Amino acid sequence: MIEIKNIEKSFGDTKVLKGISTVFETGKTNLIIGRSGSGKTVMIKTLLGIHKQDSGTISFDGRIYSKLSADEKRTLRTEIGMVFQGSALFDSMTVEENVAFPLKMFTKNKNAEIKERVNEVLDRVNLKDANKKFPAELSGGMQKRVAIARAIVNNPKYLFCDEPNSGLDPETSIVIDELIQEITREYDITTIINTHDMNSVLQIGEKIIYLQNGLKEWEGNKEEILETRNKSIVEFVYSSELFKKVRENLLAEEDEEENR
């Protein structure tokens, strides 16, 4: 569990995060959504310690980050996995070498142990025979699965995903969403996903916070987001004609039930 209380962050005179509090739950897919400039990326970077908050607290299972020693912070970083927006694989490394990288960086495991663990996670993301391939030989969806394998290879307690479906077709996006959700539940990870993909919101949004102008405007889950009357989030979620029609049908069904 990651808990934040009254987080504020400014750059010069511009206040980007304005007193945000929430709890990101373990074993659930926690989504951060909002328009461009709403503070999503700054929120993720603040949680990761890349930006230092101006005020407020961030705690990882009761460990307040600002009160940790340098050694404790280093230990915490080994408990964090990250799936980057563009996968961020090393082009000159094979799939096997990419996935092994965190183990070589943060553990003293022997080569045989590293290879065994790499094979385990590649099998878990359905890339059993891709060890010797290079990123350029893989599709976008396969590259994303390699990125997920690398993120979980060190058994993280916390998994951060920045726009994991960026550049993927809708069908592949669903596969990646389901894989992230399965891994989150299977390994009981606290997963935080920064996304603008409304399909992801409706597919795996077990906990959702909506940011607007640096404020937490709304909080709920994928069922509640379909029923909310909050004007700001309705305009955001139902900005496309397809989702507007979905909402109209839902409201019509609700009206029919009320009139029975």
| Radius of gyration from C-alpha coordinates of the chain | 20
Please determine, for residue 188, whether its predicted confidence score (pLDDT) is greater than 90.
Answer: yes
Which residues are bridge partners to 170 per DSSP? none
Residue 240 confidence (pLDDT)? 66
Please determine, for residue 247, whether its predicted confidence score (pLDDT) is greater than 70.
Answer: no
Please determine, for residue 212, whether its predicted confidence score (pLDDT) is greater than 90.
Answer: yes
The sign of the torsion formed by the CA atoms of 135, 201, 6, 17 equals positive
pLDDT in tens, 69-104: 999 999 999 999 999 888 899 999 999 999 999 999
- Delimit the domains of the chain by residue range: 2-79+156-259
Please determine, for residue 228, whether its predicted confidence score (pLDDT) is greater than 80.
Answer: yes
Banded model confidence at residue 142, pLDDT cuts 50, 70, 90: very high
Average pLDDT score, the chain: 90
Residue 167 confidence (pLDDT)? 84
What secondary structure letter does DSSP report for 85? Answer: T
2-79+156-259 CATH choice from 3.40.190.10, 3.40.1350.10, 3.40.50.300, 3.90.1150.10? 3.40.50.300
Residues 64, 57 contacting (CB under 8 angstroms): yes
- Can you tell me the distance from the alpha carbon of 183 to that of 189, in angstroms, rounded to the nearest whole number? 8
> Span 132-145, mean pLDDT?
94
Q: Kindly provide the residue ranges of all beta strands, DSSP E only, lying in the chain, ordered along the sequence.
A: 2-11, 14-24, 29-34, 55-60, 63-64, 80-83, 158-162, 190-194, 207-212, 215-220
- Packing angle of the helix pair 140-152, 95-106 (nearest 10 deg): 20
Please determine, for residue 202, whether its predicted confidence score (pLDDT) is greater than 90.
Answer: no
| Cα Dmax for the chain | 68
Structure-token match 């299972």, residue found: 61
> Span 105-130, mean pLDDT?
92
Residue 25 confidence (pLDDT)? 96
Please determine, for residue 67, whether its predicted confidence score (pLDDT) is greater than 70.
Answer: yes
Residues 186, 176 contacting (CB under 8 angstroms): no
Residues 204, 31 contacting (CB under 8 angstroms): yes
> Span 209-222, mean pLDDT?
94
- The closest alpha carbon to 10, from 32, 49, 41, 42, belongs to 42
- The closest alpha carbon to 169, from 193, 146, 144, belongs to 144
Banded model confidence at residue 251, pLDDT cuts 50, 70, 90: low
pLDDT in tens, 30-64: 999 998 888 999 999 999 999 999 999 999 999 99
Percent of the chain with pLDDT over 90: 70
Residue 243 confidence (pLDDT)? 65
- Can you tell me the distance from the alpha carbon of 141 to that of 172, in angstroms, rounded to the nearest whole number? 6
